[in-house]
A and B are shown apart, each in its own frame.
Chain A
Amino acid sequence: MNPQLLNLIYVTIFKMVKNKNTRGGSRAGAGRKLNSGIYGERTKVIRVPESKVFDIKKYIIQSQAANVVDITKSNSSLSYQPLNLFEHKVPAGFPSPADDHVEKKLDLNEYLIKQKEATFFVRIKGDSMIDVGIHDNDIAIVDKSREAATGDIVLASIDGDFTVKLLSSYKSKYRLLAANEKYKPIEINESMQFEVWGVVTGAVRKFK
């Protein structure tokens, strides 16, 4: 080969190499030393279930501790629990045929209460309302927002005392009726401080 041409090639290559060396690139010995992290080896980013983060950290720490034991004492009793990393069900195969029919759960509040803000619970004592199915110790649900009409079961106050009775009227005066023939109707007259506090819309009872 023409020595002149060869020389030119050498010079070009030398320049290229020189350029490379002077403009950026990795510098030997720079950065964190290999395997110098807390684990003493290469690390890798993994995605794990959140609920297992503690277990995994614990596992790593335990196995490290176990390694230390391993070195100092020759008998190695590595005790680590195998972990199920993927406890979640993997969706595979056919989708459930019921999936499209999942509806909200039944909620008794929704069934029993219409006006949440105006609804209060009171404990019933005695048997005066037994014929309409309200027993001793039942919890009556009272909706204060409702306008009471005759025929409603109401929570009323008479001269400062509360009572649950049926609201009725007789000769343009209010009367409170018990749902038990043992009790007499209460006639409301002007001298009484009388107020219908709310309407009883339901009652609940537990057997156990």
Chain B
Amino acid sequence: MIALVDVNNFYVSCERLFNPKLLNKPIVVLSNNDGCIISRSNEAKLLDIKMGTPLFKIKNLIQSSSIIVLSSNYPLYADISNRTMTLLASFSPQQEIYSIDESFLDLSGNRELNATGKKIKKKLWQYLGMPVCVGIASTKTLAKLANYCAKKQPEWSGVCNLSELSTIRIDNIMSKINVSEAWGVGNKTADKLKSVGIYSVLDLKKSDSIRIRNLFSIKLERTICELNETICFPIDLKTPAKKQIISSRSFGRPIQSYELLVEAVTTFTSRAAYKSRQQNTLAEYVSVFISSSPFQKKYCYQNNITLKLPYPTNDTNLILSIALEGAQSIYKANIKYVKCGIILSGLVDKHSSQDYLWPIENVERSRLTQVIDAINFKFDKQSIRLATQPINPIWKMKQSRKSQSFTTSWKELLVVN
């Protein structure tokens, strides 16, 4: 048996944990740079605010319905997510962390599935103030569906165990759920499925899997098997090591000059190289991408370039020198750039890579980097940085409505009388 536990409106729930004034009010959380809506409280959902809506499109509604708008606070969400996952791990020896707020748990051999589901819900609420829904079934796809029921249908009170229901009852439930809600069926696939007469999840379950494989993909055939209680997607225990590191941001305001682009490339490269050092990998390639606003289709300029590094490295200076060459070659004047980023790829484990005897600068540079990292860890994050990396860049991300980092910064603890 497999359980899927997910936190309801995760980002909003994290914000409410440290600000009870947000309870029972319509709240939305914005993406990086305060662009689009990425999390909504139930009250906001009732106002028909859709996921991914750009903020400017609902300015009027926000005023008229006094919706509370917040910037995303990732340090807080990441910390609460870690705590949530650790607590969930206590319910099963096998856990797959599926996303920041979702986790599959293997409950094989558990004879009190309903009781366990309720315990999970209670513990997460009591320990962390996180409201969760639990879906239990024999496959991941069905557990996802059970979770959907637990969330959308109040009669389950947050815990839905499909495995104890009769097939007739399950089919009845499935017949009322749109096929696009099945795990692994995107909106495009759902439209295509509708054109061949498959509307509900039940239609998909009863469909001819071979025909579906020929019409769509083997993955969709597996989804059908999973809906019929055959496990095709087992619980995935190990998180694969990151194969690439991306560091990018959209700018708080568009930039045009090459100097500002250099600032941004330096900042992102420093961050990416640092991440690479943290996970003990060396990069073989560095890519740079820049883009102007995609909303101005006529004048939209997007470009990227990938360059090979002279040898696998995680040295900020070396990667930066190559990245800047790349940036220079794709930079065009008189364009308003809104986004840029760095990708490190071809990552190899530091200890299994070849050692170089001759480039001795390499050795000394890496020592220098070690010292800088140590100083930045001990003091402030950016105590020592490259001269082209500004502390307070004018293109900095807009986060005008961010709450404090309540759990990760001594300076930002909740203050209580």
| Contact B128–A157 (Cβ < 8 Å) | no
Interface size on A, residues (CB 8 A): 30
Chain A, 59-81, contact with B by CB distance < 8 Å: what is the 0/1 string?
00100000000000000000000
Q: Tell me the complex Cα distance, A116–B127, Å.
A: 10
| Contact B83–A124 (Cβ < 8 Å) | no
Question: Which residue of chain B has the shortest Cβ distance to A178 in the bound complex?
Answer: B417
Chain B, 403-417, contact with A by CB distance < 8 Å: what is the 0/1 string?
000110000011111
Which stretch in A7-15, A92-100, A138-146 binds the other chain? A138-146
| Contact A115–B127 (Cβ < 8 Å) | yes
Residues on B with C-beta less than 8 A from A150 are: none
Classify chain B: how many residues form its interface, as a range.
20 to 34
Q: Tell me the complex Cα distance, A118–B357, Å.
A: 50
Does A122 lie at the interface of the complex (its beta carbon under 8 Å from any beta carbon of B)? yes
Among the listed A57, A120, A122, A193, which residue makes an inter-chain contact with B415, where contact means beta carbons less than 8 Å apart?
A: A122
| Contact A195–B20 (Cβ < 8 Å) | yes
Does B363 lie at the interface of the complex (its beta carbon under 8 Å from any beta carbon of A)? yes
Chain B, 113-143, contact with A by CB distance < 8 Å: what is the 0/1 string?
0000000000000111100000000000000
Residues on A with C-beta less than 8 A from B83 are: 117-118
Do A122 and B360 contact each other (CB < 8 Å), given the known contacts A115-B127, A117-B86, A144-B129?
no
Does A167 lie at the interface of the complex (its beta carbon under 8 Å from any beta carbon of B)? no
Residues on B with C-beta less than 8 A from A52 are: none
| Contact A163–B86 (Cβ < 8 Å) | no
| Contact A123–B20 (Cβ < 8 Å) | no
Q: Tell me the complex Cα distance, A121–B127, Å.
A: 14
| Contact A123–B126 (Cβ < 8 Å) | no
Among the listed B21, B87, B416, which residue makes an inter-chain contact with A125, where contact means beta carbons less than 8 Å apart?
A: B416
Q: Tell me the complex Cα distance, A155–B413, Å.
A: 14
Q: Tell me the complex Cα distance, A73–B410, Å.
A: 62
Chain B, 1-33, contact with A by CB distance < 8 Å: what is the 0/1 string?
000000000000000000111010000000000
| Contact A123–B413 (Cβ < 8 Å) | yes
CB distance from A196 to the nearest CB of B (A): 11
Among the listed B128, B357, B416, which residue makes an inter-chain contact with A117, where contact means beta carbons less than 8 Å apart?
A: B128
User: Which 8 pairs between the two chains have the least Cβ-Cβ distance?
Assistant: A160-B21, A118-B127, A157-B20, A117-B83, A123-B413, A145-B127, A122-B414, A162-B416
